[in-house]
């Protein structure tokens, strides 16, 4: 048996789980806002923006209590926080810029306990309510719930995607949509046939090697073709910044459409 997670979180998944990435809203209450809106999981994005481990730890604690998975996105395969994200209570770690099988192996080693990996034994964990338990029980419980997610977002990663997917310890491949298109020389052209072909290859690699498949940064109009039809289990639907700016702009457009046509009547 390889080092893939024994969690059944994605063994019998719904058609797709939709998540919200938090880039600016670092307060713990943001997790409850996401749950109230109906999201299936939350990502604390520590790659782009000011949020760090302090925000992640608080969000993960609320997520544990509220029954909403919280994942942390680190800065890359060389991040010193790969296992620390898990120690702080996240149930998954998203790693961007996984460009090779060696990158994937490095991640898996950092996030799995021996004999599957080299993750150091932590102290009491949030997932166990910080109870002191035998080391073997602690490791078994922590290992069961971990999702190790490799982001595919470059031409180099696409070229090695089958080997990345086959790496023991990698649970899910997630496409960074805009970065992948950019890496293929098709900046902003997510609807280009070459981009769809890349998505299809990645989804197939994931399926063939027992990984989950997910997407991030994909416009809603392309979800049917580039994600759902390809078997995506996980969709990071949007982030807090886009949700507020785009949602606010749409609301204002609707409200202003109700205002008097005569601009002179407006304050």
DSSP-assigned letters across all residues of 138-174: HHHHHHHH-EEEEEE-SHHHHHTHHHHHTSTT--EEE
**Residue range 119-135: mean pLDDT, rounded:** 84
The predicted structure's pLDDT at residue 258: 92
Question: Which pLDDT score, from 0 to 100, does residue 122 have?
Answer: 83
Q: Say if residue 175's pLDDT is above 60.
A: yes
Contact present, 152 and 182 (Cβ < 8 Å): no
Catalytic residue check, 48: yes
- Do 8 and 16 contact (CB within 8 A), yes or no? no
Give yes or no for a contact between 177 and 230, defined as CB atoms under 8 angstroms apart. no
Q: Is the pLDDT assigned to residue 116 strictly greater than 70?
A: yes
Q: Above 70 in pLDDT, residue 4? A: no
Q: Which of 48, 97, 192, 226 is catalytic?
A: 48
Here the tokens at position 44 are: 């604390």
What confidence score (pLDDT) does residue 135 get? 84
Mean per-residue pLDDT, 58-77: 95
Segment holding 235, helix H or strand E: strand 234-239
Nearest to 15 by CA among 223, 239, 238: 223
Asked if residues 113 and 140 have their Cβ atoms less than 8 Å apart, the reply is: no
Mean pLDDT (whole number) for 166-180 = 97
Residues with Cβ < 8 Å from 171, sequence gap 6 or more?
4, 5, 7, 10, 92, 146, 147, 148, 149, 211, 212
pLDDT tens digits along 231-258: 999 999 999 999 999 999 999 999 999 9
């Amino acid at each position: 048996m390889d080092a893939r997670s024994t969690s059944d979180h994605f063994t019998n998944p719904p058609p797709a789980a939709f998540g919200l990435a938090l880039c600016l809203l670092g307060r713990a209450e943001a997790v409850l806002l996401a749950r109230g809106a109906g999201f299936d999981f939350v990502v604390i994005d520590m790659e782009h923006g000011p949020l760090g481990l302090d925000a992640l730890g608080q969000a993960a604690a609320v997520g544990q209590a509220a029954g909403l998975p919280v994942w942390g996105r680190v800065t890359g395969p060389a991040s010193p926080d790969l296992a620390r994200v898990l120690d702080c209570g996240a149930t998954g770690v998203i790693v961007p810029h996984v460009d090779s099988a060696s990158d994937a192996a490095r991640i898996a080693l950092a996030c799995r306990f021996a004999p599957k990996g080299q993750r150091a034994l932590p102290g009491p964990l949030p997932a166990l309510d910080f109870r002191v338990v035998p080391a073997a029980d602690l490791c078994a419980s922590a290992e069961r719930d971990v999702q190790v997610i490799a982001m595919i977002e470059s031409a180099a990663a696409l070229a090695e995607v089958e080997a990345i997917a086959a790496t023991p310890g990698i649970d899910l491949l997630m496409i960074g949509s805009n970065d992948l298109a950019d890496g293929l020389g098709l900046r902003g052209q997510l609807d280009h046939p070459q981009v769809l072909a890349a998505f299809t290859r990645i989804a197939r690699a994931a399926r063939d090697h027992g990984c989950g498949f997910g997407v991030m940064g994909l416009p809603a109009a392309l979800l049917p073709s580039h994600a759902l039809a390809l078997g995506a289990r996980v969709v990071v639907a949007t982030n807090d910044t886009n949700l507020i700016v785009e949602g606010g702009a749409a609301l204002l457009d609707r409200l202003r459409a109700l205002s008097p046509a005569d601009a002179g009547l407006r304050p």
